[in-house]
């Protein structure tokens, strides 16, 4: 029996400002494309079933476009008679039950099994004379409810395969968490039962937890912390011995350049090194982050950030994160006392190269006093 396992497709996610010619956010399109590639693979290779371990959508109320993409792609599986079992993840599960789950729109599609009602459900199928039971645990309202659901699981030893599909952060020696406020933890003991396969979602990095348990990871890179990860889905062969194969999708390059320590560098050196980094990346169509750390305050002012941005304008997204020297910051906050707004304004004006300082000072003070009078009378 062959199973395709995917998770964390986050349909409806968008980021950065770059838009397509049609005016749609480029990253939103990228995310749809990655999901579509997984469905392409399923349609081509016809697995016995497809498991989606949650966070199909990025939010509780996905846009019409995200819903349309989901329906279109899931219908392709349905038409091929490929069962699709999907559990609701923390991103699409509403905090209040009365909001209703978007997964209800899948309820009347043939061969589609959306599991979203905050409770353990099973799906029993028969394919090629083999029987399989899928134990599915969606996101729940709280950790206690989640735990109670795991305790309800009963494996059926009479059938050929028992599979588990769940969404959450497995916690044992290491925690596979995303640091999201509503994430739920799956104690390692809950996945050490006698399952033939455990399909997990939530953690975005493709990870083998044990012989029979995997996170397939997300299908696109949703933050710079995922810059180095390959993305895709997992093909599982459940024969005498479990075989797994990672199926990579073709996605946009994301480059997170290792931070540059600028403590002892001049502005010119920083610009030169950053230029070199940009040119070696070949920015076109890529997503790039460059971090400049510990820049002394007086050096920071001499860096031509505009010039560096121009060099990378063919990128889909380019950001320079610069942090000034920590020591400077503390010195400022300890030794610095804020004077009155009028005094601060006068001091500031004296540092500026304007020729009509007298007039600006008079005008500025007039408005400051007027505003303070208003505050007093309010
Ligand atoms: Mn999640």
Among 79-88, 185-194, 339-348, whose mean pLDDT is lowest? 339-348
Q: Mean pLDDT, the chain, as a whole number?
A: 92
Among 104-108, 131-135, 166-170, 341-345, whose mean pLDDT is lowest? 341-345
Q: Identify the burial level of 30 via C-beta atoms within 10 angstroms of its C-beta, where 0-12 means exposed, 13-18 middle and 19 or more buried.
A: buried
**328 with 352, same domain?**
no
Is pLDDT at 377 greater than 60 in this prediction? no
pLDDT at site 328? 47
Residue ending a domain, choose from 332, 352, 367: 332
The residue ranking higher by pLDDT, 58 or 372, is 58
**294 with 149, same domain?**
no
Give me ligand 1 centre to Cα 90, in Å.
5
Is pLDDT at 329 greater than 90 in this prediction? no
Place of tokens 């009028």: 342
Q: Identify the burial level of 334 via C-beta atoms within 10 angstroms of its C-beta, where 0-12 means exposed, 13-18 middle and 19 or more buried.
A: exposed
Give me ligand 1 centre to Cα 186, in Å.
13
**226 with 277, same domain?**
no
Among 339, 346, 338, 350, residue whose Cα is nearest residue 366: 346
**316 with 231, same domain?**
no
Give the H/E segment covering residue 175: none
Distances (CA, A) of 124 to 131, 133, 236, 360: 7, 4, 18, 78
Give the H/E segment covering residue 142: none
User: Range of 20's domain?
Assistant: 2-248
Q: What average pLDDT does range 193-207 have in this prediction?
A: 96
Q: What is the pTM of this model?
A: 0.84
Give me ligand 1 centre to Cα 274, in Å.
35
Give me ligand 1 centre to Cα 10, in Å.
9
CA dihedral 359, 362, 368, 374 (to 10 degrees): -120
Give me ligand 1 centre to Cα 91, in Å.
6
**234 with 262, same domain?**
no
**49 with 114, same domain?**
yes
CATH of residue 81: 3.60.21.10
- Packing angle between helix 341-350 and helix 357-377, nearest 10 degrees? 160
pLDDT at site 372? 75
Percent of the chain with pLDDT over 90: 75
pLDDT at site 332? 47
Is pLDDT at 333 greater than 80 in this prediction? no
The DSSP string of 93-128 is S-SSGGG--GGGGGTTSTTEEEE-SSS-EEEEEEET
**102 with 47, same domain?**
yes
Residue ending a domain, choose from 220, 248, 276: 248
**210 with 358, same domain?**
no
Number of domains in the chain: 3
Give me ligand 1 centre to Cα 201, in Å.
7
């Amino acid at each position: 029996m062959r199973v395709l396992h995917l998770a964390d497709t986050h349909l409806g996610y968008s980021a950065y400002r770059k838009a397509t010619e049609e005016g749609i956010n480029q990253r939103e399109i990228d995310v749809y494309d990655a999901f579509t590639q997984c469905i392409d693979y399923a349609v081509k290779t016809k697995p016995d079933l497809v498991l989606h371990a949650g966070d199909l959508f990025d939010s509780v109320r996905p846009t019409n476009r995200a819903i349309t993409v989901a329906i279109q792609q899931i219908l392709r599986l349905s038409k091929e008679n490929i069962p699709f079992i999907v559990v609701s993840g923390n991103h699409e599960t509403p905090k209040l039950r009365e909001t209703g789950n978007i997964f209800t729109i899948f309820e009347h599609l043939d061969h589609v099994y959306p599991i979203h009602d905050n409770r353990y459900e099973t799906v029993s199928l028969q394919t090629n004379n083999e029987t399989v039971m899928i134990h599915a645990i969606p996101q729940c309202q709280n950790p206690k409810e989640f735990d109670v659901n795991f305790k309800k699981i009963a494996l059926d030893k009479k059938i050929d395969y028992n599979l588990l599909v769940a969404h959450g952060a497995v916690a044992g020696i290491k925690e596979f968490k995303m640091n999201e406020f509503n994430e739920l933890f799956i104690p390692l003991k809950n996945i050490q039962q006698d399952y033939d396969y455990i399909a997990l979602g939530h953690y975005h990095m493709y990870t083998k937890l044990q012989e029979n348990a995997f996170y397939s990871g997300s299908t696109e890179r949703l933050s710079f912390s995922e810059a180095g990860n390959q993305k895709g889905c997992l093909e599982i062969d459940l024969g005498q011995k479990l075989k797994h194969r990672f199926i990579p999708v073709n996605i946009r390059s994301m480059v997170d350049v290792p931070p540059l320590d600028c403590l002892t560098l001049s502005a010119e050196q920083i610009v030169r090194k950053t230029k070199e980094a940009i040119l070696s990346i070949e920015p076109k169509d890529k997503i790039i982050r460059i971090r400049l750390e510990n820049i002394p305050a007086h050096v920071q002012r001499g860096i031509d950030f505009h010039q560096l941005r121009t060099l990378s304008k063919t990128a889909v997204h380019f950001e320079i994160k610069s942090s000034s020297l920590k020591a400077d910051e503390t010195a400022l906050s300890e030794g610095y006392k804020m004077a009155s707004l009028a005094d601060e304004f006068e001091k500031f004006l004296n540092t500026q190269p304007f020729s009509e300082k007298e007039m600006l000072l008079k005008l500025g003070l007039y408005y400051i006093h007027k505003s303070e009078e208003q505050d007093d009378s309010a």
